[in-house]
Structure 1
Amino acid sequence: MTDNDKLSNEKDASICDVLKSDTSEIIKKLESQTPLIFQNYSNLYSQYLHMWDDLFGTCYISEKEFFDKLNIDPIVLKQIKKNSESIKKSSLEIIDMNSKFWDEYFKMRISAVKSYDSFLHSMMESYAKMISQFNQPSNKNKK
């Protein structure tokens, strides 16, 4: 029996009970899909990176014989290696910086959501107090 079935059988069910139950069910469904979505994205991204690695591997095999026949001066090869290492170093640093950025970004967003959640709880408490005052008989009616 689902929460909705239970609620429909109860005389005391309120609109808040119904909305809370339905909202919770939707959120739980979304939450259950999160690991699958991230795993699929991870698989896609890994395949994308693997494709680029294969592409450069294929280029290496295709071009190696051609470049080997050119008899490039070792000084030029040394400079090409130096340039390549510089690009590689910069790329690895950028990857590390991006990883740190996204880590801090998500920590900040989580903190913001927690702060907003706390704010909403405070506002709902004030709202509940205000609503309860409307439900109490006023002093004017007692006189």
Structure 2
Amino acid sequence: MQVNDTTQKKSEWASLGEELGKEEPQYLSVCDVWKDSVHKLVTKAEYQTPIYLQAYTQVHTEFLHCVDNLFGTCYLWQKQYFDRLGIDKGVLNVYGQLYDSWVDQTLNAMDTYANYKKMQADMMVNTMKLGNDILHSWIDAYGRAVSFWMNQFNH
């Protein structure tokens, strides 16, 4: 996945505001209107993407710290409670090994999921690029067909 340079996009977006006071653009076709409008929307979305990612990252990081802190805070109470039960240290060690095995499996599953999401994103980007290429070839074929028909009608 590619992350665009936000400073370039920011300056491009900022320049859109400067252009508002200038004279109205002269459009040659409906496609010019659409392209100009869509370009403004895409530029704004590209500029804001890092903001969304940063906000999500901050929330996710804080959530993970809260979960980690929960088990750290409960440690003293748990130790006092389980020490009163008189659980054999051998049982605790076996339980620890079992839990370590579960943690290792979970870490492997997390790696597998991360690789899957990367592969999924790459596949989506490639599919969009392919769709864009197909769209361009269709538009090109349509343009050639219209051009051919116009030549036939003009003769």
- Counterpart position of 2:135: 120
Unaligned 5+ residue runs, structure 1? Answer: none
- Counterpart position of 1:32: 47
Q: 1:62 aligns with which of 77, 89, 93?
A: 77
- Counterpart position of 1:82: 97
- Higher Cα Rg, which structure: 1
- Which whole-Å deviations, capped at 9, do the CAs of 1:41-61 have from their partners, x for residues lacking one? 111111111111011111112
- Counterpart position of 2:37: 22
Q: Distance in 1 between matches of 2:45 and 2:120?
A: 22
Moved more, 87-96 or 59-68: 59-68
- Which whole-Å deviations, capped at 9, do the CAs of 1:72-126 have from their partners, x for residues lacking one? 2122112111111111111111111111111111111111111111111111111
Q: Distance in 2 between matches of 1:135 and 1:112?
A: 34
Query: Are 1:138 and 2:145 an aligned pair?
Result: no
Q: Distance in 2 between matches of 1:66 and 1:93?
A: 32
Task: Calculate the TM-score normalised by the size of structure 1.
Answer: 0.84
Q: 2:115 aligns with which of 82, 86, 100?
A: 100
Give aligned-pair identity as a percent: 29
1:71 Cα deviation after fit? 3.0
Q: Distance in 2 between matches of 1:110 and 1:85?
A: 37
With a CA cutoff of 8 Å and minimum separation of 6, indicate the structure with the bigger relative contact order. 2
CA RMSD of aligned residues (A): 2.0
Task: Calculate the TM-score normalised by the size of structure 2.
Answer: 0.78
Unaligned 5+ residue runs, structure 2? Answer: 1-18
Q: How many residues get paired?
A: 136
